[in-house]
Amino acid sequence: MTTITTGSSTIPPPPLPTDEDARGGDSPSPTVQTAADPSQLALEPVTPSRISTFDFGDGEDSAKALPPVDGGRHAWQFLAASFLLEIFVWGYAFSFATILVYLQSHDPWQQNSLSALSAIGTTQLGLLYVLPTFAVVVLRRYGEYVRLVQWTSLVVSCCSMFLSSWATQLWQLVVLQGFLCGVANTLIFAPVFLYFSDWWVARRGMAWGVIGAGNGFGGFILPWLINAVLEAKGSAWMCRVWTAFTAVTFAASIILLQPRIPFVKPTDGRAPWLAVDWRFSHNPVFLCMAISTLFASLAYLPVANYLAVYAASFSSSTMTINLVVGLFNLAACGGCILVGRIADYSLTLGLTLVGLCGLMLSLTAWGLADTLGKVYAFAVLFGLTGQQAAASAAVTKDLSLNSPQTSTLIVTLLAAVRGATSLFIPVVLQALYDSRHAKEAPTFGKYGFLRMIVFVGAASAGLALCGLLMGGLRRKYAIKSN
């Protein structure tokens, strides 16, 4: 390879443009414009910058400066739009417990069993977890249709929720709110996965934590709002009010959610369906992260699902129960950012701390909680420290060679692990909760929660062990760029 010599230094020529620089390829690096006169290289000092250029490939002098990664107005705009979508896309599914309580006691829904009514929220939540893996693959290949898919999905989601306000049978709610809203909301949110790795690289864990904090924020504020509308106007008007809220929020988020690298439709055929480096799939680092995600879900979901039941053992006040759940979700909001930031610094430290904190809190703060004040304390502490999901994006730096396609697939696969766990965990929890001893209050494990508390502690210990193993695995098996 020839070189250009300037003084005492030798500078290689700039790389030539490739077809992979378009969005359809596997390389995340945009094309660099070359100088017309090589001698100009001696006159311009080379300075590092987070700003790069993108060549539209039309043969013209049309290179466009790209916004910087890991900061800047456009990157934070993307994060704000993603945060809003997180609140309302996931908010209904995670607030469904509030709706379920109402449906159980009002016609025509109270004639259905609890498990049958739960199918509405479970269907939507399962789709939100599992579908992104497939949605991202399709939208990455046909990037010119992303906006059309989002706006169409907004119409489908809002119309389905609006029509459900006239539903009179359970299957109608399952189809309209569970299935159609689940699919549509997944497609609205999918570009967050699609564009995330382009906007955030070095601070990926922190950024993913900010997005995940929207889940906790929504879990804090939405149950209060939904419950207020249900009590004042009933479920039909709740569906109509929710439609209006989501229509405005989704529209604003879609407008703000912009890709960093413009999509250029390839002229010589589409890229492969899965243009990823599949070495990560059997890499011990990924397998350890997947197992840690399973353990984290087994530890977190019992608390998230049954904390309200435990609080009800101390007080029958709806306000008190909602406050416990609200504090838990609000603490989770800050915990996502905290754990994500720690994972950026050290993934091993982040996983280990989440596991150890879960182990200690479940066996002490929860196991020995004998007053409502102690339940409040446990809710805040566990919500703050239990956010292993915020570390999902940080592991991609060891597995993806900075490929956005591979990074996105890794994050969606880890989300699918959490989704699969959420589908079978209700059956496990029903077996762990001993309703026969719901009135008993021994020193440890009160009100029939002994087995569940021990289960959460054991799952947290497994997560901590995965965290300790992750350090050695990363040093040995992390995929390094050449």
> 83 with 259: CB under 8 angstroms?
no
Confidence label for 430 from pLDDT (cuts 50, 70 and 90): confident
In this structure, the number of other CB atoms found within 10 A of the CB of residue 377 comes to 16
Dist. CA 306–CA 302, nearest whole Å: 6
Dist. CA 265–CA 210, nearest whole Å: 32
Three-state secondary structure call for residue 273:
coil
Residue 409 has pLDDT above 60, yes or no: yes
Q: What is the mean pLDDT of residues 389-407?
A: 77
In the DSSP assignment, the letter for residue 74 is H
pLDDT digits (tens, 9 = 90+) for 295-309: 999 999 888 878 877
Taking CA atoms, 183 is separated from 78, 130, 304, 412, in Å, by 22, 10, 24, 15
Dist. CA 366–CA 382, nearest whole Å: 9
Residue 459 has pLDDT above 80, yes or no: yes
Looking at residue 207, its pLDDT comes to: 86
Looking at residue 156, its pLDDT comes to: 96
Residue 19 has pLDDT above 80, yes or no: no
pLDDT digits (tens, 9 = 90+) for 94-109: 777 778 778 877 888 8
Q: What is the fold, at CATH topology level, of the domain defined by 278-482?
A: Growth Hormone; Chain: A; (1.20.1250)
Of the two residues 322 and 182, the one the predictor is more confident about is 182
- 65-262: CATH number: 1.20.1250.20
Residue 83 has pLDDT above 60, yes or no: yes
Q: What is the residue extent of each domain of the chain?
A: 65-262, 278-482
Residue 27 has pLDDT above 80, yes or no: no
Three-state secondary structure call for residue 9:
strand
Phi, psi (deg, nearest 5) at residue 64: -120, 130
Tokens of 12: 């290689």
Whether the domain at 65-262 and the domain at 278-482 fall into the same CATH topology: yes
